[in-house]
Amino acid sequence: MVHEKAEPMQEESLHKGPWHEEEDERLITFVKLLGSRRWDYVARVSGLKRSGKSCRLRWLNYLRPNLKHGHISADEEKIILQLHKRWGNKWSMIARRLPGRTDNEIKNYWRTYLRKKALIQEQENFQLGRDNGKQLSLFQEDGSSAQTYNGESYKPCEDILEAGNVSYDAVALSDYTLTSSPYQTRLSDWISEFPSDQSEIKSQEDSNSTDSCNCYPAWISQENDLWGCSGSLWNMD
DNA sequence: AAGCGCCTCAACCGCATGGGA
DNA sequence: TTCCCATGCGGTTGAGGCGCT
């Protein structure tokens, strides 16, 4: 490994905008040579008139191996919805749970498609809430969970219920208990296995780095069964 | 065919964070 | 402890594609 103090790039000479094929090829060559770190150095040594930031972004979002470039599958969409409700706009965290997908891709997908879906869902729930004389607000304007019910905060579980095709109203009417049917009992058991504190979640995240994001934590892999997802997504290399 | 508006997504920007000197 | 720099992250932008009129 060469350790050389990187000179600052000449800002005014930097290329911006879309990458050309030759630039991609050159970047791939130099990343293979120098590794996907020290991006300023890679940018400078490669002769690409791009910033280190730009090189890093191009590599992470487009050039790195094992990226998927196709449409987001229904299974992946469910995961995104679930994790967004859990974590909010933590796109990089969500991306780590979806092998081959980038935070940018997920962020774009959310903004262009899922956010609308969430808003529609909100409107439907608002209508249902009005019909029942209750106000169940599940999403804020930005798409995040509002976590209120009749003006009171509650532990969010709508993500799980939506994923399992259980209506929000069913939860509202059962005072958020999930034990009245075998299916709900199963849900309840599953929820209870969720990491109970941030440190546990953190340790699971740490064991699933970007570079080795080929597995899921136990708590989410169980959703596969719950959702009846195809196995292919979960066994990705 | 041309013009317009909307949508998508690659790329940029600015701030936060972490590590090393 | 402080400063500096590289990297990471989330929000935003804008070019190009596409469909509608």
How many other C-beta atoms are found inside a 10 Å radius of the C-beta of residue A205? 16
A18 CA → B9 C1’, Å: 12
- For residue A162, which phi and psi values (nearest 5 degrees)? -65, -45
Domain that holds residue A15: 11-63
Contact A188, A197 (CB under 8 A): no
Residue A63 has pLDDT above 50, yes or no: yes
Q: Are residues A173 and A57 in the same domain?
A: no
**Domain assignment of residue A237, yes or no:** no
A107 CA → C10 C1’, Å: 9
A102 CA → C1 C1’, Å: 37
Q: Are residues A202 and A101 in the same domain?
A: yes
Q: Are residues A31 and A115 in the same domain?
A: no
How does A15-27 read in b/e, with b if 16+ C-beta sit within 10 Å?
Answer: eeeebeeebeebb
* Domains: count for chain A: 2
How many other C-beta atoms are found inside a 10 Å radius of the C-beta of residue A108? 13
Per-residue pLDDT reduced to its tens digit, A67-105: 887 788 888 888 888 888 888 888 888 888 888 898 888
Q: Are residues A38 and A147 in the same domain?
A: no
pLDDT value, residue A167? 34
Q: Are residues A26 and A95 in the same domain?
A: no
Q: Are residues A215 and A122 in the same domain?
A: yes
Tell me which nucleotides of strand B come within 7 A of a protein CB: 7-14
Model confidence at A218, pLDDT cuts 50, 70, 90, reads: very low
Closest nucleotide to A69: CA versus each C1' = B9
A41 CA → C4 C1’, Å: 16
Read off the CATH number of the domain in which A43 is found.
1.10.10.60
Tell me which nucleotides of strand C come within 7 A of a protein CB: 5-12, 15
